[in-house]
């Protein structure tokens, strides 16, 4: 039983769901991780992580629309100092995930056929996002 | 320290919160798992996992009502190819959990007195759902 | 590789986001935990856990407002037996987290610069809340 730690960095350009499954899968292969639990943690609170359907891109668009509607930009938020899209970003982060724990088996992520791992960017301006990877297993 | 992997399959019949605590608890006992972390992962994105109150069934009904209202079926979703209840199901999944990590101590799930583990079905038609179980501990 | 289990208890006084990062960080130091995964689990379903921004207190106020609005007290909930703020509390818990898994590295929580760990109290009356800590690592 051992632990492997890594990180990934991703540049984003506005609200979107970015499929990072391949990045994670190749990190597992490179490090020859057989079986264990992988913890992903995004080091921000205005972007988040989400496991969602990877088949129809319309699903991602509908998710973006839903979250824009539930936490609209033009609301009377007290927190305005970092731009009017920052508070909605924190709300969307709170409704989704900052960390995810995923099973690794036979050097593969244990995901359903239609599941992908997404970095969910909520800010409008370009950002550089960091995700920490922590594997515990063999 | 070792790892045990398993899975469970469950047939569902429309939107509901199905208590799977006993299934999980008996899997722990059968496999004689003393102490560790159990990761549960549902292999779908139109059903999800949730820890909620197991005392008053009205709580479950109110939760179903809340999620039906926040993600109604009759909305202008772009994603319609799998039925009009599929996109709301993805939204409800994104608001709750695809995976859960739960502490196991003395061969028991470390849950509060009133906590149960639920499979949260969001689709209207009958479905077969799979949950992966991955235990890491001793 | 070993496991350390602990718990913390916290008295709350109405809806608020209480920063528990220091409690967790000092528990890690006292137990000399070098590297591993820490699972936090709140033993209730009317309070929850959340990683959020720890810089501007306005963010916390806006989050409280958002959740009060999305799950208002004066709704036609079926579950009324524990007070009219109990069902909204369950809804808010379902939208946030009952458990969190956080990476520990070099005796520190692997959090972003602006991230704090919060206990999110949803009930109006004074409560005593329990959080279970389960560390797996070295």
* Segment A75-108, tens digit of pLDDT: 999 999 999 999 999 999 999 999 999 999 999 9
CA distances for A98 relative to A25, A90, C91, angstroms: 19, 11, 19
The percent of residues above 70 in pLDDT, for chain B, comes to 100
Question: Inter-axis angle of helices B57-70 and C86-95, to 10 degrees?
Answer: 60
C-alpha–C-alpha distance, residues A19 and A3, integer Å: 25
Interface contact flag, C115 A44, Cβ < 8 Å: yes
* Å between B24 CA and nearest CA of chain A: 17
Residue range(s) defining the domain that contains residue A124? 2-137
Q: With contacts defined as CB-CB under 8 Å, which chain A residues touch C63?
A: 90-91, 94
Digit-coded pLDDT (tens) for C47-73: 999 999 999 999 999 999 999 999 999
Q: Which of B44, B79, B97 sits opposite A56 (nearest CB)?
A: B79
User: Taking CA atoms, what residue in A is nearest to B77?
Assistant: A62
pLDDT at C74: 87
Closest Cα to residue B2, out of A136, C24, A38?
A136
Number of domains in chain C: 1
C26: CB partners within 8 A, 6+ apart: none
For residue A49, the distance in angstroms to the closest alpha carbon of chain B comes to 10
- Burial of C97 (C-beta count, 10 Å sphere; 0-12/13-18/19+): buried
pLDDT score recorded for residue B58: 97
**Mean pLDDT for all residues in chain A:** 97
- Return the ∠ at Cα A12 (arms to A8 and A13), rounded to 5°: 175
Residues of C in contact with A71 (CB under 8 A): 66
For residues B5 and B134, is the Cβ–Cβ distance under 8 A?
A: yes
% of chain A exceeding 90 in pLDDT: 98
Res C113: pLDDT:
96
- The pLDDT of residue B70 is 98
- State mean pLDDT over B8-18: 98
Flag if A58 and B41 touch (Cβ within 8 Å): no
Where does residue C92 rank: exposed (0-12), middle (13-18), buried (19+ CB within 10 A)?
Answer: buried
Helix (H) or strand (E) holding B88: helix B86-95
Report the CATH number that the domain containing residue A102 is assigned in CATH: 2.60.120.460
Write down the residue that tokens 């209840």 correspond to.
B85
Nearest to A58 among B78, B95, B134 (CB): B78
The pLDDT of residue A132: 98
What residues in chain C have per-residue pLDDT under 50? none
- The answer to pTM > 0.90 is yes
- pLDDT tens for B36-80 read 999 999 999 999 999 999 999 999 999 999 999 999 998 999 999
């Amino acid at each position: 039983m051992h632990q492997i730690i890594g990180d990934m960095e991703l540049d984003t350009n506005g609200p979107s769901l970015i499929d990072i499954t391949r990045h994670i899968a190749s990190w597992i292969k490179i490090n020859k991780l057989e079986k264990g639990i992988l913890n992903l943690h995004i080091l921000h609170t205005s972007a988040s992580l989400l496991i969602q359907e990877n088949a129809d891109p319309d699903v991602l668009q509908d998710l973006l629309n839903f979250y824009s509607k539930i936490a609209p930009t033009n609301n009377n938020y007290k927190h305005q100092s970092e731009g009017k899209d920052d508070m909605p970003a924190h709300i969307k982060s709170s409704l989704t995930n900052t960390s995810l724990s995923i099973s690794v088996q036979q050097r593969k992520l244990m995901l359903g056929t239609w599941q992908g791992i997404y970095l969910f960017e909520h800010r409008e301006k370009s950002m550089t996002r960091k995700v920490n990877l922590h594997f515990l297993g063999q």
